[in-house]
Amino acid sequence: MISQIVFFITHLNEFLQAIINTMGPWSYVILFLIVFAETGLVIFPFLPGESLIFFTSAIAGATKSNLNVFILFLVYFFAALFGDTVNYAIGKNLHRWSFFKRHVPQEKFKIAHQFFVKHGGKTVIFGRFVPLIRTFVPLISGSALMDYQRFTIYNFLGVLLWVGLGTFLGYFFGQISFVQNHFGEIFITIACCALIPSISVSIGRYLRRK
């Protein structure tokens, strides 16, 4: 079983390329739905984000790929933008639920609201680059009643930066033969690096409780 998993990861580019060749243009729809779910639906924070963007763009950088990097950029950009907007709307409507009113003290709500008034822009932009956390930032922004126009502006900038870096860096590195020959190993490395911010935040919270 372990050997099969290792084989799959180390030959990930071949498996992805086979799926893309089989699905054709429908690949873009599937990729859109994955990123939309990861950013817009709080029950799917475990879905791949920047790793998916980077490696599909890397495949687009290969000479035999059917993917277009500019279409990928648009697909990921609108998937994340719409996903965050839906997530924000869900958070904003939590106040109508009796469960939210009963279990969220008014004092904590005021603290959250004040935080997003002061630091909401930075949180929306930089929270985008932290796996798991980025799924909850739009939800909390909405539930803390962050101004929608302000959220939209910073969310646009955050998504543009996140998708732009992941897409075009992936496309650039995908044209390098070393990356093509060590696709699986690089995937593991980047996936582990992507978890560092989340782990750091968790450790920081744990130490503050001590």
Domain that holds residue 66: 2-209
Task: Give the position of tokens 């930075």.
Answer: 122
Residue 92, CA distances (Å) to 63, 102, 128, 145, 152 in order: 45, 16, 19, 6, 14
**pTM of the model as a whole:** 0.78
Handedness of CA 21, 27, 31, 34 (dihedral sign): negative
**Confidence at residue 82, expressed as pLDDT on a 0 to 100 scale:** 95
If we measure between CA atoms, which residue out of 129, 143, 187 comes closest to residue 5? 187
**Confidence at residue 45, expressed as pLDDT on a 0 to 100 scale:** 74
Q: From the first residue on, what is the mean pLDDT of each consecutive set of 10 residues in the chain (210 residues)?
A: 50 64 83 90 77 84 78 95 92 71 60 70 84 82 86 94 92 77 67 62 58
**Confidence at residue 131, expressed as pLDDT on a 0 to 100 scale:** 76
**Confidence at residue 8, expressed as pLDDT on a 0 to 100 scale:** 45
Spatial distance between the Cα atoms of 91 and 85, rounded to a whole number of angstroms: 10
Domain count for the chain: 1
**Confidence at residue 43, expressed as pLDDT on a 0 to 100 scale:** 79
**Confidence at residue 79, expressed as pLDDT on a 0 to 100 scale:** 95
Chain length of the chain: 210
Three-class secondary structure of residue 103 per DSSP: helix
